[in-house]
Amino acid sequence: MPSLLLDEARARFDLLTVTAYDVTLDLREEHAFDSRTVIDLVSRGGSTFLDLKATALRSIRLDGTELPVAAWADGRYPLDLPAGDHRLEVEAVMGYRHDGEGLHRATDPADGRAYVYQMSFMSAAPSVFACFDQPDLKAPYTLHVAAPTDWIVAANGVGTEVEPGRWEFAQTQPLSTYFVTVVGGPYHHLADEHDGIPLRLLCRSSMAAALDADADQLFTTTRQCFDRFHELFGIRYPFGKYDQAFVPDFNALAMENPGCVTFREGLLFTTKVPRAQRLQRVTTIAHEMAHQWFGNLVSPKWWDDLWLNEAFAEYMGNRVAAEATEFSEALVWAVTTRKNWGLTADARPSTHPVAGNGAQDADAALQDFDGISYAKGHAVLTQLADRIGDDVFFGGVRDHFERHRFGNATMRDLFDAWERAGAGELESWTAAWLRTAGLDRIDLVRPDGDRGAELVLTPPAGGSAGREHAFGVARWDGAAWQVSDVRVDGERTPVEADATSPTVLDAKATAWADLTLDEVTAAALPAVMAGTTDPLLRATIWTTVRNGAQHARLDPDHAVEILAAGVPDEQHDFALGMLGGWTGDDGEGTHNSVHQKLLPRVADPDSARSRLFAAYAARAESAPPGSELQLAAAQAAVLCAPQPEPLRALLEGAWLPGLEVDSGLRWRALKRLTSLGATDRDELDKALAEENDAKTQLAHAWCRARLPEAEAKAWAWQRFTGEAKATNYEIEAVGTGMWQSGRDDLLAPYVERYFAELPGTTAVREGWVLADAAIFFFPMTATSPDTLRRTEALLEEPELNASLRRVLLDAGDELRCRLACRDRYWR
């Protein structure tokens, strides 16, 4: 089906005003659902099309006149609309989806009960109801739902069960199509109220205990964030009630649907977790709440301004979490866990400007929904807020909200509001930081002869040195770090540094640049990490170590030395979690980091793994028994355990005093045992039988794909090609489980098959999961020039899908980075 073009959206906006949607859904059948849509609109006279991704179109009427069903094709229905008021009525049969988009239906393995939720972002709304699917054709919605009588149904508006199984929802404020949602199933739910806003939490019934246990913290966080947002914005939350639903198989971390925010179910904790995961949940709650104003009250006119939604919510979410909740370390967490995501994306060949990407269609815009939009956007908005001050920053934001209330706006509209509020001229700053892609590189050059120490700035290829950087420089004086401020606005900038003292750039974690540890600092850092206590400086060191090793500018053995020295004194569990994911098993991670690993870059991974395991184990042993810090260190240690013995001791409860070995930690150990070849299918099946739920099923699938058996790899590959059905989460688990270094005898045939069969996956999946499958099944463990050549050859294919092209572009760059590291440092 064609993706909506920008020119098509502009023409449709000029032609139409949509005044109301009335949608009726019948969710009582298991395999498909009936959808009836009534659209009231005003036309200025002309031809256009309606978006409809149905399994069958039963009827379509315009002003009471039947139109030919046969005209519907490729997800569109052509319309000729004379000037004036019109009513469209569409009756269709829709298919439930199992990829986290559209109306997703999942069956809980714990009790066999079914749950649905609607994810309309970014072009999935037409697979639920007929619509004009673009962000600037906002309209109010009225929803009617028929559902099984044991279901709870929630949506954007206030709902009432008028009779068993029949739900009526109040008309909403004007919404973009991508915000419309319905959540249905035998959901467990809890209610509260704050400042006149009805609050509710929902989760599937089998997770009720987890929701009940955390309800007080969730409601408290919500109240605190609402109060702070009301204070900062001066405008009350505009969408009435506020539901927060934790739903299965969710692709994103959360989605800001007005009145009914949906969250990834993993944010409810059924096992013990480090504080870091609660902190992530709090920042996510605050992030989605910020969207209720920026994104929902005022929405982007087109997808190329979507970055501003996310950058603003990232900035406000982290800031409000730090200011209003118990998680005052939220900004340190963001630097430690999020910044490298954006730095890596900004260094890739696929880098793009933060703003003004000129996305010509929705599919192209989706490719730029990445660490640049989030993490770099957050960083530059932080710079701007510091530059113009809170009074001007929030004065402009309030003006923007009032001028475009329940409407759409552009980046230019917001920057005009800031300039009216007193920010001064922002065009030069915007050009340098928002419209120029890539990273400036800043290197420390030590004193040499008569020449003093300097910072040398190298702009990105094709760029210019037009950015100004202000940050702290930390120099170790033999007993402590001494920090001085520096401003870099040209090619060379003098700096206080001598020939031998360790010196770290960006001591306060405020810079956005490609920074690398020079050889003097890299060699000296292991000896001074124990005396490095400032959390922002430590966060910068961890980020700079990762960035340098990633791009073959820091010897990976030096990275191991620094980690081995610094981990035993680390005070933040989120830093241990980040480092554990980076140094752990090379097939495990999220879509943002699954391929960005340290061990494939070192010449002797077994030796490095042993040293890292010892460091994490030492931190786990020194942490208070039963503490979150102990748990985070133990989790990291498990990921890089070099031998089965400590894992077996953990499973027997004999490794660390106070460490609770619950399902989460047990399956983490089983996954590592699988990688070590120290378990088998029988043990895994028995473990699953003891606790069979959604999370353990995914862990079991990962392990099954990881088993060193030809049958296991063939089983995994069937899920890649679509020969065997798999949900979006199963694809992630199986893809990341399948590939493992050192198993070329089993995996070599699948390298060739990946490149031959990847283009055909567009026939079996679309949207987010199309790209995710390509990422998770990419043969990154086959790190060789041949794999790189195959990647580059497929990129030459002109008909390659845009989502797949982006995956291959980034994967090819990662391969080059790994190969460059080997060429430079392996001796």
pLDDT digits (tens, 9 = 90+) for 412-434: 999 999 999 999 999 999 989 98
CB distance 258 to 775 below 8 Å: no
Residues forming the active site:
288
Q: Is the pLDDT of residue 59 over 70?
A: yes
| pLDDT tens string 134-159 | 999 999 999 999 999 999 999 999 99
pLDDT number for residue 40: 98
With bands split at pLDDT 50, 70 and 90, how would you rate the model's confidence at 466? confident
Distance CA 524, CA 297 (A): 52
d(Cα 724, Cα 731) in Å, to the nearest integer?
11
Using the predicted structure, report yes or no on whether residue 357 has a pLDDT greater than 70: no
Q: Which residues, 6+ apart, have CB-to-CB distance to 263 below 8 Å?
A: 244, 245, 246, 247, 250, 253, 254, 284, 288
User: In this predicted structure, what is the pLDDT of residue 587?
Assistant: 60
605-622 and 556-566 helices cross at what angle (nearest 10)?
Answer: 10
**DSSP β-bridge partners for residue 242:** 199
Q: Is 479 exposed, middle or buried (0-12, 13-18, 19+ CB in 10 A)?
A: exposed
- Which CATH architecture best describes the domain 6-185? Sandwich (2.60)
ω into 122 cis (within 30 of 0): yes
Check pLDDT > 90 for residue 207. yes
Strands 514-515 and 141-146: unpaired
For residue 758, the number of C-alpha atoms closer than 13 Å in the C-beta half-sphere is: 30
Q: Binning pLDDT at 50, 70 and 90, where does residue 585 land?
A: confident
Spell out the residues 6+ positions from residue 437 whose beta carbon is closer than 8 angstroms to its own. Answer: 346, 351, 352, 353, 460, 463
Strand segments, DSSP code E, in 605-667 are none
Question: Which range among 97-101, 366-370, 497-501, 586-590 shows the weakest confidence by mean pLDDT?
Answer: 586-590
> Whole-angstrom Cα distance, residue 359 to residue 230?
33
3-state DSSP assignment of residue 114: strand
Q: Could you tell me the two tokens for 411?
A: 């980046």
Rounded CA-CA distance 200/262 in Å is 12
Contact residues for 359 (Cβ-Cβ < 8 A; gap 6+): 6, 302, 303, 304, 365, 368
pTM of the predicted structure, to 2 decimals: 0.96
Q: Which of 394, 376, 389 is nearest to 307 (CA)?
A: 376
Give the HSE-up count for residue 610: Cα atoms under 13 Å, Cβ half-sphere.
Answer: 5
Average pLDDT over residues 489-504: 93
- List Cβ neighbours of 274 (8 Å cut-off, separation of 6 or more): 573, 574, 576, 577, 628, 629, 631, 632, 635
Is the predicted pLDDT of residue 509 greater than 60, yes or no? yes
Average pLDDT, stretch 560-564? 98
Q: Please give the pLDDT value at position 508.
A: 94
pLDDT at 545 over 90: yes
Tokens for 660, please give them: 């609770």
Cβ(158)–Cβ(241) under 8 Å? Answer: yes
pLDDT at 590 over 70: no
pLDDT at residue 306, rounded to an integer: 81
760 three-state secondary structure: helix
Q: What is the pLDDT of residue 57?
A: 98
> In this predicted structure, what is the pLDDT of residue 595?
86
Q: How many CB atoms lie within 10 A of CB 364?
A: 19
> Which residue's entry shows tokens 């399948």?
738
Q: Which residues contact 450 (CB under 8 A, 6 or more apart)?
A: none
Supply φ then ψ for residue 153, to 5 degrees: -120, 130
pLDDT value of position 591: 57
Q: Where are the domains of the chain?
A: 6-185, 442-511+513-554, 559-602+611-679, 680-827
Predicted pLDDT at 130: 98
Q: Is the pLDDT of residue 356 over 80?
A: no
Q: What pLDDT score does 594 carry?
A: 75
Does pLDDT of 358 surpass 70? no
Indicate if the pLDDT at residue 775 is higher than 90.
yes
Classify residue 793 by burial, with Cβ atoms within 10 Å: 0-12, 13-18, 19+: exposed
Whether 779 has a pLDDT exceeding 80, the answer reads yes
Dist CA 28 CA 13 (whole Å): 35
| Dihedral in degrees, nearest 10, Cα atoms 284, 286, 292, 298 | -90
Q: What is the mean pLDDT of the chain?
A: 95
For residue 289, give the nearest of 328, 333, 326, 324 by alpha carbon. 324
**Do 378 and 315 touch, CB atoms closer than 8 A?**
yes
DSSP H or E run through 488: strand 481-488
How far apart CA 823 and CA 815 sit, in angstroms, is: 12
Residue 714's pLDDT band (boundaries 50, 70, 90)? very high
pLDDT given at position 589: 57
CA 169 – CA 160 distance, rounded (Å): 6
- Taking residues 582-601, what's their average pLDDT? 78
**Weakest mean pLDDT among 360-369, 665-674, 679-688, 750-759:** 360-369
CA distance 280 to 276: 6
Asked if 140 and 174 touch (Cβ cutoff 8 Å), the reply is yes
Q: What angle do CA 697, 699, 700 make, to 5 degrees?
A: 60
Encoded amino acid at 553, one letter? R
The residue whose two tokens read 């960005």 is 596
Of the pLDDT bands very low, low, confident and very high (cuts 50, 70, 90), residue 133 is very high
DSSP for 420-468 reads: IIII---HHHHHHHTSS-S--EEEEE--BTTB--EEEEEPPTT--S---
| Cα–Cα distances in angstroms (integers) from residue 24 to residues 33, 164, 180, in the given order | 10, 16, 13
Reading the block at residue 749, the tokens are: 């045939």
Pairing of strands 182-185, 114-119: antiparallel
Quote the pLDDT of residue 363: 72
pLDDT reading at 268 higher than 80: yes
Sequence-ordered list of residues with C-beta below 8 angstroms from that of 73, at least 6 positions apart, any chain = none
**What phi and psi, each to the nearest 5 degrees, are found at residue 278?**
-70, -35
SS3 of 356, please?
coil
Contacts of 602 (CB under 8 A, 6+ apart): 556, 557, 560, 608
8 A C-beta contact, residue 345 and residue 102 = no
Residue 225: band (very low, low, confident or very high) from pLDDT cuts 50, 70, 90: very high
Give dist(CA 583, CA 574) in Å, integer: 14
Share of the chain above pLDDT 90, in %: 90
Q: Write down the pLDDT at residue 187.
A: 98
Four-CA torsion 197, 201, 202, 203, nearest 10 degrees: 160
63-77, 365-379, 535-549, 691-705: segment of lowest average pLDDT: 365-379
Amino acid at 342: G
